Amino acid sequence: MIQNIDTYLVDVPTIRPHRLSVATMNTQTLVLVKVTCGDGIVGWGEATTIGGLNYGEESPESIKTNIDTYIAPLLVGMEASAVAKAMAKIRKTIQGNRFAKCALETALLDAQARRLNVPLSELLGGRVRDALPVAWTLASGDTTKDIAEAEQMLELRRHRIFKLKIGLRDVAADVAHVLAIKRALGDKASVRVDVNQAWTEGDAVRGIAALEAGGIDLIEQPVKATNVAALARLKQRFDVAIMADEALHGPDDAMALARADAADVYAVKITQSGGLLPALEVATVARLAGIELYGGTMLEGGIGTAATAHVCSTFPTLAWDTELFGPLLLTQEVLREPLVYKDFMLQVPTGPGLGVEIDTDKLHAMRRK
């Protein structure tokens, strides 16, 4: 039986300012959900977002309030091992709230996998890989600093895929910044950009033409999420891969984008999808439509990152790798043992459930009172 559901907000400073076109982050607020079951088993989930309400329509505070006030009372008293029934009830009764639903599904699946003494990936069809290549986002906005940071990551054998956050400056300045970094790194690394919806279609045509000519590998969400027609025209016009991110809020969007032939790649995010199982449905739509996959992040801590790693480990193909670097951007850790990054890869945890353990003393010291 589901006995209790607790939600925590944990404010963690970042290692440096993280500049996106929608927000500059100096602190990340982790939203952590704990489900305690009658048999003593505890499951954890995460519903972290980016920049308060700058990125999406759920904020850390609204996620906590909605779980505590509306969603948890629906679940308490239900059979903890009947995860599908519990989630069906929530999805039928609660509108929207994808991030909250994801955290609860993660926690219930974590608890059930612990109950069965198997890794969570085994409840999702089973893993086909034990390690995932991880990109690093260069988002200081300073070309020299970004080049130095990338060189350091290559030397440490931590990352050889780099994503640049652009869209705050005019197109010419952004293109010059990106291409200077690409020239400095050469063939040692894959360089990609994320515009976070900042460009008009005209901006995108000019910017992508220059980036494609300069050897950039992928362009993420160049135009507004709602402008699917523009995204499709850009995909048809350019050879460089176009990736949908903010336009992708679960399986229905995945289907609509596939029908519109609007993207070469899908950024699969468990929170944006509304849960681990809907994220698998997004991946299935992509596979059937010939669209390639990328494991996306909301800059989560260790719990959400581990959950996404379990999901991505089950994908038959993962052509564009992942960006599951969230914990590396944070100055503090809520896990007893941090996730393992080595040889450019994140090692998918192998223990029961998510395969990570919360340091409850640290959590209670760090949580927002």
Please write the tens of the pLDDT for every residue from 78-122.
Answer: 999 999 999 999 999 999 999 999 999 999 999 999 999 999 999
CB 105 within 8 A of CB 111: no
Where do the structural domains in the chain lie, given as residue ranges? Answer: 2-117+359-366, 123-347
What percent of the chain lies above the pLDDT cut of 70? 99
CATH topology of domain 2-117+359-366: Enolase-like; domain 1 (3.30.390)
pLDDT tier, 141 (very low <50, low <70, confident <90, very high otherwise): confident
Per-residue pLDDT band at 21 (split at 50, 70, 90): low
pLDDT tens digits, one per residue of 148-192: 999 999 999 999 999 999 998 999 999 999 999 999 999 999 999
Identify whether the C-beta of residue 228 lies closer than 8 Å to the C-beta of residue 249: no
C-alpha triplet 260, 263, 268: angle, nearest 5°: 115
Is 201 known to be catalytic?
Answer: no
- Which CATH superfamily includes the segment(s) 123-347? Enolase-like C-terminal domain (3.20.20.120)
Confidence of residue 268 (pLDDT cuts 50, 70, 90): very high
Whole-Å CA distances, 355 to 23, 48, 175: 32, 19, 41
What's the predicted TM-score (pTM) here? 0.96
Q: What is the pLDDT of residues 310-353, one digit of tens each?
A: 999 999 999 999 999 999 999 999 999 999 999 999 999 999 99
Average pLDDT, the chain: 96
Q: Please confirm, yes or no, whether 323 is among the known catalytic residues.
A: yes
Spot the catalytic one: 58, 246, 300, 323. 323
**Annotated catalytic residue, options 34, 64, 165, 235:** 165
Closest CA to 78 of 102, 103, 112, 47: 112
Q: What confidence category does residue 54 fall into, taking pLDDT thresholds of 50, 70 and 90?
A: confident
Mean pLDDT value of segment 23-43: 93
**In this structure, what are the phi and psi dihedrals at residue 230, rounded to the nearest 5 degrees?**
-65, -40
